[in-house]
Structure 1
Amino acid sequence: MKFTRRNAVCAAAGAGLALLLAGAAIAQPWPSKPITIVVAYPAGGDTDAIARTYAEKLSQRVGQPVLIDNRPGASGMIGNVWVAKAPADGYTLLFTPSTFPIAQHVLRVGSGVAHDVVKDFTPIVKTGNIPLLLVTSPTTGIKNVPQLIADAKAGKALTYGTPGAGSPMHIAGELLNKDGGVAITHAPYRGVAPVVNDALGGHVSVGWITPGAVAGQIATGKLVPLAVAERQRTKLMPTVPTLIELGYKDVDVSAWMGLLGPKGMQPEVVQMLNRHFNDILRMPDVQAKMAALGIEPVGGAPSVLAQQIVDDDQRFGKLVREFGIRAD
């Protein structure tokens, strides 16, 4: 075929169109397919429950399915690693509680789950704070924290229950021991429900728990709230004093939840997700669901979560070594 100027122009136009279409295929607007949020804990718990609420709301806003993928094991580290190794395209995210920066310090970490909580992830939004609550049964006769400490100093055999060794509750319990100059014995359980049951039965002197897990028992008088391990009183239980108010200045430990992605996510996608979640956290029905689970909405910029992780990694790493804490 004779090659003419017209052929050259058509060929150039065709090549340009092909490049344009290829570029459009590469640069599709996010999201153009389903999003997966990994929850590194079993289905049915508080973390899973609130993650599903957020997923439903996010799906409505972005027009794509948002799926929850439960990947439990090793105190969340299996799910964490799965997300750390995922493509940083905004389609695989991690929703995690505050065990995220603690687990690596309390577990004997194998190479298969090793990761760096500061360097291997992109913080997106801190969704909520969860106050840590110290409770007791009326049958124990413990009226308040000063009495608890006085009884311990007098040699009375006392125990504090938590949902597990190395949990934020365990760290709060050891900080109270240190500040109070006592040695109340730790009774670690496997999860929240056994702590509640044994606190109700008086089988442990006090229990460290989250408000959502015991709201019903407190309302009926079956459990008595003694204090929260927060710097300020929680809006969820405004009449309950903080341990700092009571003179235990170092007992400042709260749990939290947040959304992250793999390192290297596009800033535009991070900001879009952050805006969506800040809007979701202001929804009345979402706030009601969070309150029922004992979670206070936070939100804010990605830097809020980033700083929380850095601070917790440094502080809890030091405390875990100081107290010799190891997970079972």
Structure 2
Amino acid sequence: MGPEDVMGERELVLSRRGLGALALAGLAGPAFAQGFPSRPIQVIVPFAAGGGVDVTMRVAAEAAGDLIGQRFVVENRGGGATITATTAVVRAAPDGYTVLTAPTTMVINAASRDNLPFDWKTDLVPVSMIAKLPLVVVARRDAPYSTMRELEAAARAARDPLTFSSGGTGTVAHLAGELFALRTGIKLQHVPYRGEGPALSDLIGGTLKVSFATLASVSGQIEGGTVKALGVTTKDRTGLLPGVPTLVEQGYPDYDVSAWLALVAPRGTPQEAIDAMQRAFAAALATQSVRDRMKVLGAEPVPGTPAELAAFMAKEAAQWAEVVRAIGLKPE
């Protein structure tokens, strides 16, 4: 699905989406009455156009731009495992007019790579959480297990490690599988693919038995019955698959995993700019139009304050650093 398929017509005009006079009055307060922004704001996405992170950010950015009074202009700078784009934003003028779409990859890179040209904890400042992209554990249709407990039992009984696939080494889906193995003490063998599409094809074809994947990539196959969902990896059930229980519900109380994207800015960005952007995105993510459009993408909007985002990213960094150390992950 490309950006043009998602963005559609300008359906985010406030008067048509019932944000309400009270909300509009609140948005017209001090944070939007100051000098920022006086021109468009560049949002760097560290992936190629058309992917889940890119399109999700475009949906949020268009709505936030309508609210803040200036466009958020999305620019894609893929490659370099997100390091190239992140470095560019770290080195940009800290004036609020260049910001970064920070994905989960950023904190994974910090744990798995040496000599990065930046330290995200000190060179970037949090602005707003944008969305989470739940993961789902799926099995081929005829697999002899239908729950995570049954999968765990099968892995314990197996003579050789049970194999699972993901869209690539070092991805959130890969590490989600490794985390499950660490938390349960079972043996799993990762089979990396170059993308979730090929992994899903082999799962449906019977070459593989289990895959950890983003909801967006497998929801159609789950609904069509070509694969079956064993569990959702987020702490709470997703409204996108309300009938599928979480791993927490199945007896894994500390298992809460998702891909995510957030908005961050260079260190030294004025507080006025951070506050204005945070308020715009929080209001945009609360609109039903944005929530509906993100649902199609397999994403769940998660607005929040800079302090909440900082705490969340620190927790994520610690969790993935634990997994990276345990499996000795090195970038390809």
1:144, distance to aligned residue in structure 2 (A): 2.2
Paired residue for 1:183?
187
One-letter amino acid of the counterpart of residue 162, structure 1: S
Q: Which deviates the most, 59-68 or 170-179?
A: 59-68
Paired residue for 2:4?
none
CA distance in 2 between counterparts of 1:257 and 1:264 reads 21
CA distance in 1 between counterparts of 2:76 and 2:226 reads 33
| TM-score normalised by length of structure 2 | 0.84
Contact 1:83 1:92 in 2 (8 A): yes
| TM-score normalised by length of structure 1 | 0.85
CA distance in 1 between counterparts of 2:68 and 2:247 reads 43
Contact 1:152 1:184 in 2 (8 A): yes
Q: Can you list the C-alpha shifts for 1:31-58, whole angstroms capped at 9, x where unaligned?
A: 2222110000111101111122223223
What 5-or-longer segments of structure 2 have no aligned partner? Answer: 1-33
Paired residue for 2:118?
115
CA distance in 2 between counterparts of 1:292 and 1:327 reads 32
* Pair 1:88 & 2:91 matched: no
Contact 2:99 2:266 in 1 (8 A): yes
* Pair 1:74 & 2:77 matched: no
Q: Can you list the C-alpha shifts for 1:141-172, whole angstroms capped at 9, x where unaligned?
A: 43222222222222255311112212222222
CA distance in 1 between counterparts of 2:311 and 2:168 reads 25
Q: Can you list the C-alpha shifts for 1:205-248, whole angstroms capped at 9, x where unaligned?
A: 11111112111111111121101222222232222222233233
Paired residue for 2:277?
273
Paired residue for 1:166?
170
CA distance in 2 between counterparts of 1:255 and 1:133 reads 11
1:287, distance to aligned residue in structure 2 (A): 0.5
* Pair 1:143 & 2:108 matched: no
SS at match of 1:118: helix
SS at match of 1:161: strand
One-letter amino acid of the counterpart of residue 138, structure 2: V
SS at match of 1:102: helix
What 5-or-longer segments of structure 1 have no aligned partner? Answer: 1-27
Contact 2:41 2:71 in 1 (8 A): yes
One-letter amino acid of the counterpart of residue 133, structure 2: I
Q: Can you list the C-alpha shifts for 1:250-300, whole angstroms capped at 9, x where unaligned?
A: 433222211111011111111110110011101222111111112112112
* Pair 1:291 & 2:295 matched: yes
SS at match of 1:36: strand
* Pair 1:226 & 2:247 matched: no
Q: Please say which structure displays the higher CA radius of gyration.
A: 1
One-letter amino acid of the counterpart of residue 282, structure 1: A
1:102, distance to aligned residue in structure 2 (A): 1.0
Contact 1:212 1:291 in 2 (8 A): no
Which residue, out of 244, 250, 255, partners 1:251? 255
Q: How many residues align structurally?
A: 298
CA distance in 2 between counterparts of 1:274 and 1:300 reads 8
SS at match of 1:134: strand
One-letter amino acid of the counterpart of residue 92, structure 2: A
Aligned positions of 1:7-46 closer than 5 A: 29-46=35-52
Which residue, out of 208, 212, 217, partners 2:216? 212
Change (3 A) 1:143 1:65: closer
SS at match of 2:250: coil
1:88, distance to aligned residue in structure 2 (A): 0.8
Paired residue for 2:109?
103
Q: Which deviates the most, 57-66 or 223-232?
A: 57-66
Contact 2:56 2:299 in 1 (8 A): no
Identity %: 35
CA distance in 1 between counterparts of 2:206 and 2:249 reads 26
1:313, distance to aligned residue in structure 2 (A): 1.9
1:83, distance to aligned residue in structure 2 (A): 0.6
* Pair 1:262 & 2:260 matched: no
* Pair 1:326 & 2:330 matched: yes
Which residue, out of 197, 201, 205, partners 2:205? 201
Q: Can you list the C-alpha shifts for 1:166-195, whole angstroms capped at 9, x where unaligned?
A: 222222211222233321210112222222
CA distance in 1 between counterparts of 2:42 and 2:66 reads 14
CA distance in 1 between counterparts of 2:81 and 2:135 reads 19
CA RMSD of aligned residues (A): 1.9
One-letter amino acid of the counterpart of residue 57, structure 1: A
Q: Which deviates the most, 234-243 or 119-128?
A: 234-243
